[in-house]
C-alpha cells in the first residue's frame, strides 16, 4: 500500500510541475509578442527612394583558393595576370581536351567571366581552338602560335625588298 501512495505523490508533483512550466512558457510567448508589436508601432521606419544604406557588418566574401588582388577603379586586370590565367587555362585544355568554360572555371577556381579574355587570346594565338557554338562551345588544344609566324614573314619581306633595291 505505501508503494501506491508514493507513486501517486510523485505523479501529483510531476503534474503540478508541468502545469507551472506550461504557464511560464505561455507568459513568455505573450511578453515577446507584446514587445514585438509595441516596438513596431512606436516609430514607423522611414523609407525613401534609392538604394538602402550599408549595414554595420559587411557580408563575408566568398572563400577562394587564391584571393584576387585589388583591382583599379575600372576593374581591369594587368596583362601579367591575364597571361598567367591564359597559361593555366592552356594547361587545363591540354590535360582535358573537349572541356567547356564552366568545367574550366570550376577546376581553376575562377569565374567564366574572368576566363573569357585569356581564352580569346589563346584562340587568337592558335594555341587552342573551339568546337561548337555559344553554350555548347568546347575547347581543344591547337596546332601552335600564329603570332610567332607573322614576324618571320615580315622579316623575310624586308630582306627581299633590300635585295631588290641593291
CA–CA distance, 42 with 23 (Å, rounded to integer): 28
Q: 37-56 burial string, b = 16+ CB within 10 Å, else e?
A: eeeeeeeeeeeeeeeeeeee
SS3 95: helix
- Total count of domains within the chain: 1
Span of 4-13, 36-45, 137-146 with lowest mean pLDDT: 36-45
The string of pLDDT tens digits covering residues 71-118 is: 566 678 888 999 999 999 999 999 998 999 999 999 999 999 999 999
| Mean predicted confidence (pLDDT) in 62-78 | 63
**77-80-82-83 Cα dihedral, nearest 10 degrees:** 170
Mean pLDDT score across all residues of the chain: 79
Does residue 34 lie in a domain region?
no
Does residue 111 lie in a domain region?
yes
Does residue 18 lie in a domain region?
no
Does residue 41 lie in a domain region?
no
CA-only gyration radius of the chain, Å: 36
Does residue 94 lie in a domain region?
yes
- pLDDT score at 149: 45
CA–CA distance, 124 with 106 (Å, rounded to integer): 23
The string of pLDDT tens digits covering residues 14-46 is: 999 999 999 999 999 999 888 888 765 555 566
Is the sign of the CA dihedral 127, 131, 91, 124 positive or negative?
positive
Q: Model pTM?
A: 0.45
- pLDDT score at 58: 59
Does residue 126 lie in a domain region?
yes
Provide the residue count of the chain. 166
Range of the domain at 143: 79-148
Residue 165 pLDDT level (bands cut at 50, 70, 90) = low
The CATH number linked to 109 is: 1.10.10.10
Amino acid at each position: 500500500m505505501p508503494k501506491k501512495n508514493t507513486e501517486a505523490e510523485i505523479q501529483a508533483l510531476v503534474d503540478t510541475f508541468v502545469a507551472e512550466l506550461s504557464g511560464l512558457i505561455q507568459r513568455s510567448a505573450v511578453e515577446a509578442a507584446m514587445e514585438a508589436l509595441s516596438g513596431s508601432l512606436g516609430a514607423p521606419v522611414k523609407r525613401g527612394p534609392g538604394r538602402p544604406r550599408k549595414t554595420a557588418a559587411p557580408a563575408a566574401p566568398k572563400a577562394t583558393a587564391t584571393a584576387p588582388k585589388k583591382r583599379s577603379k575600372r576593374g581591369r586586370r594587368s596583362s601579367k595576370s591575364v597571361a598567367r590565367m591564359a597559361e593555366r587555362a592552356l594547361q587545363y585544355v591540354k590535360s582535358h581536351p573537349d572541356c567547356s568554360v564552366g568545367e574550366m572555371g570550376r577546376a581553376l577556381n575562377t569565374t567564366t567571366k574572368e576566363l573569357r579574355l585569356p581564352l580569346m587570346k589563346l584562340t587568337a594565338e592558335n594555341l587552342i581552338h573551339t568546337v561548337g557554338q555559344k553554350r555548347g562551345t568546347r575547347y581543344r588544344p591547337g596546332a601552335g602560335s600564329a603570332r610567332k609566324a607573322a614576324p618571320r614573314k615580315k622579316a623575310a619581306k624586308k630582306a627581299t625588298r633590300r635585295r631588290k633595291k641593291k
